[in-house]
Amino acid sequence: MTTLYWEEEIETLPRVGLESIQLTRLKHLVARVYATVAPYRAKMDAAGVRPADIRSLADLQKLPFTVKDDLRDNYPFGLFTVPMDQVVRVHASSGTTGKPTVVGYTKKDIETWAGVMARALTCAGATSRDMIHNAYGYGLFTGGLGAHYGAERLGATVIPVSGGNTKRQITIMQDFGSSVLLATPSYALNLADAMAELGVDPKSLSLRVGVFGAEPWSANMRDEVERKLNIKAVDIYGLSEVMGPGVAMQCLETDRGMHIFEDHFLPEIIDPDTGEVLPPGEQGELVFTTLTKEAFPLIRYRTKDISRLIHEKCACGRTMVRMEKITGRTDDMLIIRGVNVFPSQVEHVLMGVEGVEPHYQIVVNREGNMDTMAVRVEVSEAIFSDEVKNLEKLTRKIQADIKDLLGVTCKVQLVEPRTIQRSEGKAQRVIDNRKM
């Protein structure tokens, strides 16, 4: 099978060529942002750095970070670099706390976005012959429209079903012959369950591949979606602040990571505590600089997503670096005896043991000068046994796996179902009793 590219030349450009394009674009970006956006100029002045100081890609590190609070402080349009008459669209992300963040796009930004999204869909093997079932929500959320424009750019037939009305979605899949599904992974599982209830065999559908993103999902969940829907599931990454879907995309040739479209989005991995750029291949916080965005560019935007960059060549021939599937959020990070611990890592271990979505809680205490971590796990029927030795074996295994993966010794405590506090349906994952 020959790999299809959307823009072969740029996607397979040797690194040196790619980096030279990045540097040109970076210089231009910094100069423009400095000249047009007062908050950026103020931050750069405070850091004592001027646009002329950016002479190499490494000089990027001299620039101050942009964080979510900067976006909130300048709500709604304060960080836009063009007058509003050039802004043809805005999107907003729902703020779980406080104000939402608003992003804007010029006509050219929308074109750029459609282009990277078309690239992403091509990574998943989609072509103009496909019937693309777009179940991402349409609206202020970037998912629906972002994917839509990319699919149209690709020349495929788009079915803009958006989210909800699952029964009708299944009928549409049957009648229209949907071949590519774009959805959140949890919605894909909803679809699979609804099919099972209605007695619809996924094998009778034309569905071939699913492009899933917009929420964290585990490898186990991917296996489940693939099995239940009888499709290949691939991962897409994007966040509204940076662009929307289409910042990075997994290709069909690898299960490890997503290609970042680096001619538009320049990635860095930093230590979330110190802000230092980490050596290649290390895990840390993902930071993006948008190289081509006009209305709402970002310089060194801290995503709070934890990932690592994979520099090894990919079998598909694309030269663009890959980012590993997001393994956590810096907001959730705990430091226990000097070790960074993410609840998602604990979740990963439990998933491996139980094979199902675990209900768990991490409890951190300080005894004397010593931090202790306990993991409380609700006993589901899947792991329950009538024999004491089996349950003891289970707790020892969880403990050993956590020690292996995280390097932290913890106590594992089995608890009865529904004993872990939930607020608004979501379990409270971490209780930190340390007084810092």
For Zn ion, the binding residues (CB under 5 A) are 251, 253, 314, 316, 318
Identify the residue among 201, 367, 381, 424 touching another protein (CB under 8 A). 381
Provide the 8-state DSSP code for 62: G
Rounded-to-integer distance, Cα 275 and Cα 176, Å: 50
Beta carbons of 34 and 46 less than 8 angstroms apart: no
Interacting residues of 239 by C-beta distance below 8 A, sequence separation 6+: 93, 247, 303, 305
Q: In this chain, which of 24, 61, 413, 428 binds another protein, going by CB under 8 A?
A: 413
Smallest gap from residue 280 Cβ to another protein (A) = 44
Q: Put residue 79 in one of left, alpha, beta given phi > 0 → left and psi -120 to 50 → alpha.
A: alpha
Q: Are 269 and 283 in contact (CB under 8 A)?
A: yes
Q: How many other β-carbons are positioned within 10 Å of the β-carbon of residue 27?
A: 16
Residue with Cβ nearer Zn ion (318 or 325): 318
Q: Choosing among another protein, Zn ion, none, which partner's interface includes residue 251 (Cβ < 5 to 8 Å by kind)?
A: Zn ion
Which segment (15-23, 83-91, 158-166, 391-399) binds another protein by CB under 8 A? 391-399
Residue whose C-alpha is closest to residue 154's, from 129, 175, 190, 136: 129
Which stretches within 230-370 are classed as H helix?
A: 343-354
Total residues in contact with another protein, by rule CB under 8 A: 19
Which range binds another protein by CB under 8 A, 43-51, 205-213, 239-247, 373-381? 373-381
Name the strand (E) or helix (H) holding 248.
strand 244-249
Sign of the CA dihedral running 387, 388, 389, 395: positive
Q: Is 427 in the site for another protein (CB under 8 A)?
A: no
Q: Which stretch binds another protein (CB under 8 A): 67-75, 110-118, 247-255, 378-386?
A: 378-386
Q: Which of residues 106-125 bind another protein (CB under 8 A)?
A: none
Note whether 392 binds another protein by CB under 8 A: yes
**Rounded CA gap, 110 and 140, in Å?**
15
Which range of residues in 225-233, 299-307, 322-330, 390-398 is near another protein by CB under 8 A?
390-398
d(CA 109, CA 89): 10
Task: Give least dist CB 346 to another protein, A.
Answer: 18
Closest to another protein by CB, 386 vs 424, is 386
Under 8 Å between Cβ of 208 and 180: yes
> Out of 61, 282, 384, 428, which residue is the one contacting another protein (CB under 8 A)?
384
Residue 349 interacts, among Zn ion, another protein, none and using kind-specific CB cut-offs from 5 to 8 Å, with none
415 lies in the binding site for another protein (CB under 8 A): yes
Enumerate binding residues for another protein (CB under 8 A): 378-381, 384-388, 391-392, 395, 413-419
